[in-house]
Amino acid sequence: MGSGRFDSNAYRSFTSSTVGKTTEQIYTSKAIHKDLDPKGVKLRESRDSADNPNSTPLIVDIDVTGSMGILADVIARKGLGTLFESILDRKPISDPHVMFMANGDANYDRAPLQVSQFEADVRIIKQLSDIYLEHGGGGNGWESYNLPWYFAAFHTEHDSLIKRGKKGYLFTIGDEEAPGDLTKAQIKNIIGDDLEAELSSKDMLALAQRKYNCYHIVITEGSHCRSYRHTVLETWKSMIGEHLIVLEDHTQLAETIVSAIEVAEGRDAAESTKAWSNAKAVHEAVKNLPKGSSPKLLGR
Domains and CATH numbers, the chain: 8-19+29-286 (3.40.50.410)
Phi-psi region of 66 (alpha: psi -120 to 50; beta: other; left: phi over 0): left
Alpha carbons within 13 angstroms on the beta-carbon side of residue 1 total: 19
Helix ranges (DSSP H) in 136-199: 146-155, 159-164, 184-190
Provide CB contacts within 8 A for 64, sequence distance 6+.
71, 72, 102, 103, 104, 114, 131, 132, 133, 134, 135
What stretches in the chain show pLDDT beneath 70?
A: 1-3, 67, 69, 294-300
- What's the pLDDT at 11? 76
Strands 156-158 and 96-103: unpaired
In degrees to the nearest 10, what's the CA dihedral of 85, 4, 12, 58? Answer: -50
Residue 181 and residue 237: Cα distance in Å, rounded? 17
Could you tell me the pTM of the whole model? 0.94
- What's the pLDDT at 3? 66
- What's the pLDDT at 141? 74
- What's the pLDDT at 298? 41
Can you count the helices (H) and strands (E) in the chain?
13, 8
Report pLDDT digits (tens) over 119-154: 988 888 888 889 998 888 777 778 899 999 999 999
